[in-house]
Amino acid sequence: MEAILSFISQHQQMIYIVILMIFVGIEVIGHVPAVLHTPLMSGANAIHGVVIIGAIIVMGQAPKDNYPALVLGFLAVILGTLNVVGGFVVTDRMLEMFGGKRKSPKEEIRNSK
Amino acid sequence: MGSNLLILIYLLASITFIIGLKMLSHPARARRGNLIAAAGMTAAIAGTIFLYKDENGNALHNYAWIFGGLLIGGTIGTIAARKVKMTAMPEMVSMFNGMGGACAALISVVEFGHLMHGLQSAPGLTVIDAAFQSGLRQHLLIIVAGLVIGSISFAGSMVAWAKLNGKIKDFVFKGQHLFNIALLLIILFMSVYLIGWLPAGGVSLFYIILGLSLIYGVFFVMPIGGADMPVVISLLNSFTGVAAACAGFLYDNIAMLTGGILVGAAGTLLTILMCKAMNRSLLNVLIGSFGAGNKSTGGIKEHGNYKEISLSDAAMIMNYAHKIIIVPGYGLAVAQAQHSCHELEKVLEAKGVEVTYAIHPVAGRMPGHMNVLLAEADVSYDKLQEMEQANEAFPATDVALVLGANDVVNPAAKTDPSSPIYGMPILDVELARAVIVNKRSMKPGYAGIENDLFFRPKTSMLFGDAKKVLQDLIGELKAL
């Protein structure tokens, strides 16, 4: 019990952030129309790629002679970058197509005239 | 100065993540939202590389390794994301998600190594004071949580990827759910033992937990098939978010924490929304697996004969219809027939036929899969109807054209309590005056269930690859 209380008081700010972010996350997603579900999932996927920051810190702190840490850290940086870059590019590609459809009804009207 | 600047950058990055997600909820602003989040992420990465200092004020080193990793990952990621076909998008998202999970797990592995290294070099290991021990436990708790969640997410995403790719099939054995629950309990028990008692064999125990988590991830996704795959990917997506947040806790890093929790919460809600669309609880999706295990239920029933329709007859019916609703499914995606579909729509509209699309929330392999696909073919937004809207419109519809959809139009979901999809809301295509179903063969859909719809008197079957059939239909219609 003592341990739990001290954990909460030590990490007060973090716990507040966690709770508030849970509500923000739910609030933000609640209004997304079904048509945007796939890009949304993909976009959220890219955002959790923020884990790359941890990978960079691990890599940057690894002692020069600790090869397992260097290799694992290197791998983590590659995988994290894949997540971030791939995620954002895929999302952009999907959304690009959504943007494209905006023109078509007007074009059709023009064509029919 | 440097570290204060970094704090500001992290703050801004966190805000861009929230704004980015918010803007993704508006079709017109979605793309900009994505770019804003990407910009925030870039700033956070650059800031970390150049401005990060540890508690002792040391900057990062190993720049060659860091930039090498960024370059390799960035290049592969860009190429993979640019080259992937629209139909393979869901797999790609699953794959990238797995990479994030693996990244989080690797961070935990390295940090655990640091922790153990620090312990061994500390003098008088047995007389560690209580404060140090509780700090150690907190640290370890976060590391183990990141490890377990990250590796489950990685293994699960890889299985989901391979499944969607058709590389592996559903795999179920008797008592698998009990086995899964037991495995999860063992992982939890081991983690508690490791953190609470700090046993002598802690290092090997840590790696056993890693191995078991990977195995659990595989068995977790293995039995789930067909219509439920989108739900699983969304769930794994939120797992990775939580794993990223664990890493954020580890480094006291606000940007990672906000980003991770944001995605964790949003992903969970999205998962629940998708379950709701199928009228089932999340537990039911995870436990009541579709596919191989349930195949016997549909087969026993006696089916009548189905009726085939010729291309010219189909074209004729559609030509004289007033209103047609197209119901797209995974078959459309596989055949890459979205452009032909749009062309058919245009040809019909030129003939004065009203054409709309009925989108079932779980049609395809991802939520919104059909929307993305049709958007690629420039199908206008206002032509896409959601399930409720479409079901209201079917009675006034002359022809419901089902293109490669199966489970989402299966009446068994309403009538047959023994069916594994019983209770899932479906598109009531039967309310239309005529139903034309395009499929490649009479084989059951991804969920492995027979579909009564095909044997109903109103239904006519139009066999063949969706793209070819649509092109032939267009040809016939133009000739009329």
**What's the pLDDT score for residue B24?**
85
What kind and span of H or E run contains A28? helix A12-30
Whether residue B359 sits in one domain with residue B261: no
What is the DSSP code (8-state) at residue B429? G
Whether residue B107 sits in one domain with residue B51: no
Mapped onto helix, strand or coil, the DSSP state of residue A98 is helix
Whether residue B162 sits in one domain with residue B45: no
Beta carbons of B321 and B396 less than 8 angstroms apart: no
* For B106, nearest residue in chain A (alpha carbons): A76
Mapped onto helix, strand or coil, the DSSP state of residue B327 is strand
Would the pLDDT of B279 be above 80?
Answer: no
Query: Is the predicted ipTM greater than 0.90, yes or no?
Result: no
**What's the pLDDT score for residue B121?**
61
Whether residue B368 sits in one domain with residue B251: no
How large is the average pLDDT for residues B411-429? Answer: 79
Catalytic residue of the set B170, B407, B416, B428: B407
Would the pLDDT of A79 be above 90?
Answer: yes
Mapped onto helix, strand or coil, the DSSP state of residue B461 is strand
Whether residue B348 sits in one domain with residue B242: no
Average pLDDT, chain A: 80
B304 torsion bin: left (phi>0), alpha (psi -120 to 50), beta (else): beta
DSSP B340-384: HHHHHHHHHHHTT-EEEEEE-TT-SSSTTHHHHHHHHTT--GGGE
**What's the pLDDT score for residue B367?**
66
What kind and span of H or E run contains B241? helix B229-250
B contacts of A88 (beta carbons < 8 Å): 34, 37-38, 41
pLDDT tens string B198-226: 777 778 899 999 999 999 999 888 887 65
Q: What Rg value do the Cα atoms of chain A yield, rounded? A: 22
What kind and span of H or E run contains B323? strand B323-328
Average pLDDT, chain B: 83
End-to-end CA distance of chain A: 76
B contacts of A55 (beta carbons < 8 Å): 69, 103, 106-107
Would the pLDDT of B339 be above 50?
Answer: yes
Q: B243, A35: Cβ pair inside 8 Å? A: no
The mean-pLDDT minimum among B72-86, B194-208, B259-273 falls in B194-208
Q: Of B66, B83, B100, which marks where a domain is finished?
A: B83
**What's the pLDDT score for residue B304?**
67
pLDDT class of B75 with cuts at 50, 70, 90: very high
pLDDT class of B447 with cuts at 50, 70, 90: low
How close does chain A come to B461, measured CA to CA in Å? 29
**What's the pLDDT score for residue B118?**
73
Whether residue B231 sits in one domain with residue B126: yes
The mean-pLDDT minimum among A102-111, B37-46, B72-81, B379-388 falls in A102-111
- Looking at the structure of chain B, the number of domains it has is 3
Beta carbons of B245 and B107 less than 8 angstroms apart: no
Percent of chain B residues past pLDDT 70, beyond the cut = 89
Residue B367: which of A38, A50, A104 has the nearest Cβ? A38
Would the pLDDT of B295 be above 70?
Answer: no
Q: Of B272, B294, B316, which marks where a domain is finished?
A: B294
Q: A3, B134: Cβ pair inside 8 Å? A: yes
Whether residue B318 sits in one domain with residue B215: no
Whether residue B310 sits in one domain with residue B256: no
Would the pLDDT of B337 be above 50?
Answer: yes
**What's the pLDDT score for residue B293?**
40
The mean-pLDDT minimum among B106-115, B375-384, B426-435 falls in B375-384
Whether residue B340 sits in one domain with residue B285: no
The CATH code of the domain that includes B372 is 3.40.50.1220
* HSE (side-chain half, CA atoms, 13 Å) at B141: 13
Would the pLDDT of A81 be above 90?
Answer: yes
Q: What is the dihedral of CA B111, B112, B116, B122, to 10 degrees?
A: 40
Q: B237, A58: Cβ pair inside 8 Å? A: no
How close does chain A come to B304, measured CA to CA in Å? 37
Whether residue B253 sits in one domain with residue B165: yes
Domains of chain A, residue spans: 1-31, 36-112
End-to-end CA distance of chain B: 76
Q: Which of A56-70, A76-90, B174-188, B432-446 has the highest mean pLDDT?
A: A76-90
Whether residue B247 sits in one domain with residue B228: yes
Residue B73: which of A23, A73, A85 has the nearest Cβ? A85
Q: Is B407 a catalytic residue?
A: yes
Q: Of B263, B294, B325, which marks where a domain is finished?
A: B294
**What's the pLDDT score for residue A104?**
41
The mean-pLDDT minimum among A109-113, B70-74, B155-159, B278-282 falls in A109-113
List the domain range (segments joined by +) for residue B400. Answer: 302-479
In the numeric block, the tokens 């089916």 are attached to B303
Burial B53-63 (b: 16+ CB within 10 A, else e): eeeeeeebebe
The mean-pLDDT minimum among B60-74, B262-276, B333-347, B368-382 falls in B368-382
Whether residue B415 sits in one domain with residue B288: no
> In 3D, which of A111, A33, A88 has the Cα closest to residue B277?
A33
* For B370, nearest residue in chain A (alpha carbons): A35
